Structure 1
């Protein structure tokens, strides 16, 4: 084996991984080398104990394929173990190493595969991106940390290890309670602190393996995200927050193919800006959302802009054409019929549905919050400004600095796509029985009606 030179912080992390603790968390900012160090440690354990089994799990199966199977694991083998032959079974997603040891890869959202993986006992279980993993899923996985194998270097049993890694979410998450407060997340009873180790590692500790532009990108993020992805710190949880970062991350769709769309709408939340002077006005919220054949809603595009009617009308109708949408939904409190006029002026005969804000923002957002938490509404990409606005909603009101135009537009969109959230609208006679079915990629595709 050719030893790969770890960074100074990875060397320290490696010492922690070899401690007496069973449960060890590496937490910190994005691309800090956490996952690389943990996968390397698992391979070493597998080579030390012939016939041992190890599992690397994420919440989403597609994410573990993309980030571990296709990226981190091959890099670790190439850089750290170039002379070690291994056999990767891409259909069953496991690796066989010399001596008969195996490393399994799985997603906790794939029930059938999880049952198959957790039918085995393991010497090591690694939960990657724990911020996305529900506590109940962690508890199921830990029951399989039970394989008794011999470390050929010591002749003793290989110590069982449960590894964890994440970009820290807020302090309400189970990982903060377990690894920082050292209490059981449910019962609040104290844990044996000697069995739970926490180590922080950040992008600044891994600069030798990063480009300067990447660090600058992290530095340009909003403070809320900078704290998590650059400084690797747990944030104070907003009291009674309606939306949480870990919900977005858990269900976010980036690497996976989007499902066919049954319906797509473009939602507009206007601010009242005019074409000549709109510098002091709020942004015009314009968000494209769809309802997939899987029954889930997807945020597809955020086109929010600060512009007058001549511009935002074209932005909205261009999106309508590009996504082959069903209609534009717009809030009517600003300007009343003017909003419909702007849409129709930009594109004649555009299907249009006006909505009126008869209830407060928080009341309208609450049912959408429940959909996001359960995964019925998902982000098909990364929408930082929109997610910032959503995270500022609490049961006490909106706590953000500016008006939540993006978030309001998203709420209008999903209120239209999930009509059961509000008083059902009676369909027009010509719409009854009509089903529209689309297949889309990220932005393009075909339509059949």
Structure 2
């Protein structure tokens, strides 16, 4: 290790915390505060100290882990802190190997095949990066891989995040020391937490970036600059209690727990596909024979037009959906053209908003309040947007919420579950064959999880 390199005072405080008696550590705070850097630094120190040890950095989406960790943070830490170490970069399997045989792996929890491969190994340390996007189920599952036995070493788990709602499992576990599922008490000495904010990392960030953080709306400023966990937004249409109260889980084999008579894929496309672009909202939802709304999947992400079209068509085929719905305020006929270039046989309908976002969202929120809307398993990123979007007329809503509202409106308007106040117009006639199938009450069998 380069003896000339110095951690910032707050990073040094984190490094000292890692040497204590706790076994799970949460570094929470504002953006660009050096959280990920000091955790990766600690993992590589342990990799050097314990030959043949294995370590892993996991994020919800592999593409984000690759771009932010593999191509950025990991490069910086190895170059600045370990200039004399000879690393071998395995760019096919995405792991870093040291001369002593230790390895540091990169994983995305959205890649089923890769996740299963990695979960077949045991690790000395696990780092859950940007854990606000990671479900409690994923957290508890990957903890089971913290099982590599190395003489003289204790397995450690690291978590970092810009803090979300106080209802998130991170707050429940690391602050309240309570199991989110059973509400039983956890052993406090196992957990340690440290807040790190950007004003404690001034030597590594620009004043322009701080100015950007200071100019954010209050709620975002508290999260991304001040590193504070948030209560449910006072202006939000949804709360955590509302979503958790009607949640249902998939069957143990991954199939859906209800039979659905109609399924749609809703797309709210981003205007562009640059790294700084908005995400394209992609939501899968269905209507049950009880006329309840079931939100099945959230495949939102940063995609090129071809990528989101392929993702939507893959979900359409996987769930045997009745239709893909595309919001065309920005994309016009391009959306249908891109989708049909992937699969010309899909059933597609374009929709165009005639009311503001709040007016369209309110009747959908009312269905949740009536207990007639259910999320299947945790849809963490979608739910975070739903409980933090401060709904106001004319105010922009996140892409996940927009896609959810389009899917729910199509399903519920069709069955009379909501009134016509959430107006939009269709540019195609309904598929009569599918409409007749609905009238006959033909059941759709539960499908496998993708």
Match of 1:51 in 2: 52
Match of 1:295 in 2: 315
CA distance in 1, matches of 2:182, 2:141: 17
CA distance in 1, matches of 2:22, 2:90: 32
Q: After superposition, what is the alpha-carbon deviation per residue over 1:219-242, rounded to whole angstroms, capped at 9, x for unaligned?
A: 111111111100001011348852
Deviates more, 1:31-40 or 1:190-199: 190-199
| Counterpart pick for 1:242 among 230, 238, 241 | 238
Counting matched residue pairs gives 347
| Counterpart pick for 1:329 among 352, 362, 365 | 352
CA 1:123 to 1:371, structure 2 compared with 1: closer, same or farther past 3 Å?
closer
Q: After superposition, what is the alpha-carbon deviation per residue over 1:228-266, rounded to whole angstroms, capped at 9, x for unaligned?
A: 10000101134885277xxx9996523x54555669xxx
* 2:58 and 2:128 in contact (8 A); partners too: yes
CA distance in 2, matches of 1:50, 1:409: 46
Q: How far off is 1:91 after superposition?
A: 1.0
Aligned CA RMSD, in angstroms, stands at: 4.2
* 1:329 and 1:412 in contact (8 A); partners too: no
Match of 1:280 in 2: none
Secondary structure at the counterpart of residue 47 of structure 1: helix
Q: How far off is 1:59 after superposition?
A: 0.9
CA distance in 2, matches of 1:233, 1:174: 15
* 2:135 and 2:378 in contact (8 A); partners too: no
Q: After superposition, what is the alpha-carbon deviation per residue over 1:362-387, rounded to whole angstroms, capped at 9, x for unaligned?
A: 337889995996489799xxxxxxx6
* 2:325 and 2:351 in contact (8 A); partners too: no
CA 1:377 to 1:176, structure 2 compared with 1: closer, same or farther past 3 Å?
closer
Match of 2:157 in 1: 162
Secondary structure at the counterpart of residue 158 of structure 2: strand
Secondary structure at the counterpart of residue 101 of structure 2: coil
CA 1:259 to 1:414, structure 2 compared with 1: closer, same or farther past 3 Å?
farther
Which structure: larger Rg?
Answer: 1
Q: After superposition, what is the alpha-carbon deviation per residue over 1:111-145, rounded to whole angstroms, capped at 9, x for unaligned?
A: 11111111111111111111010001111111111
CA 1:185 to 1:220, structure 2 compared with 1: closer, same or farther past 3 Å?
same
Q: How far off is 1:359 after superposition?
A: 7.8
Q: How far off is 1:422 after superposition?
A: 3.0
Q: Given the alignment of the two structures, is residue 65 of structure 1 paired with residue 55 of structure 2, yes or no?
A: no
Match of 2:413 in 1: 422
CA distance in 1, matches of 2:26, 2:400: 35
TM-score (normalizing by structure 1): 0.66
CA distance in 2, matches of 1:11, 1:29: 17
TM-score (normalizing by structure 2): 0.66
Match of 2:93 in 1: 92
CA distance in 2, matches of 1:177, 1:185: 6
CA distance in 2, matches of 1:378, 1:426: 28
Q: How far off is 1:90 after superposition?
A: 1.1
CA 1:20 to 1:104, structure 2 compared with 1: closer, same or farther past 3 Å?
same
Q: How far off is 1:331 after superposition?
A: 2.8
Secondary structure at the counterpart of residue 320 of structure 1: coil
Match of 1:214 in 2: 209
CA 1:68 to 1:115, structure 2 compared with 1: closer, same or farther past 3 Å?
same
Q: How far off is 1:146 after superposition?
A: 1.1
Q: How far off is 1:423 after superposition?
A: 0.1
Match of 1:34 in 2: 35
* 2:26 and 2:174 in contact (8 A); partners too: yes
CA 1:408 to 1:120, structure 2 compared with 1: closer, same or farther past 3 Å?
closer
CA distance in 1, matches of 2:38, 2:64: 18
CA distance in 1, matches of 2:363, 2:413: 14
Q: How far off is 1:9 after superposition?
A: 0.6
* 2:237 and 2:365 in contact (8 A); partners too: no
Match of 1:253 in 2: 301
CA distance in 2, matches of 1:112, 1:226: 37
Secondary structure at the counterpart of residue 21 of structure 1: coil
Q: How far off is 1:431 after superposition?
A: 7.8
* 1:61 and 1:106 in contact (8 A); partners too: yes
Q: How far off is 1:330 after superposition?
A: 3.3
CA distance in 1, matches of 2:381, 2:162: 24
Match of 1:191 in 2: 186
Q: Given the alignment of the two structures, is residue 6 of structure 1 paired with residue 7 of structure 2, yes or no?
A: yes
Q: After superposition, what is the alpha-carbon deviation per residue over 1:71-120, rounded to whole angstroms, capped at 9, x for unaligned?
A: 10010000000111111111111111011001111011111111111111
CA distance in 2, matches of 1:187, 1:374: 19
Q: How far off is 1:329 after superposition?
A: 1.7
* 1:27 and 1:200 in contact (8 A); partners too: yes
Secondary structure at the counterpart of residue 85 of structure 2: coil
Secondary structure at the counterpart of residue 104 of structure 1: strand
Secondary structure at the counterpart of residue 198 of structure 1: strand
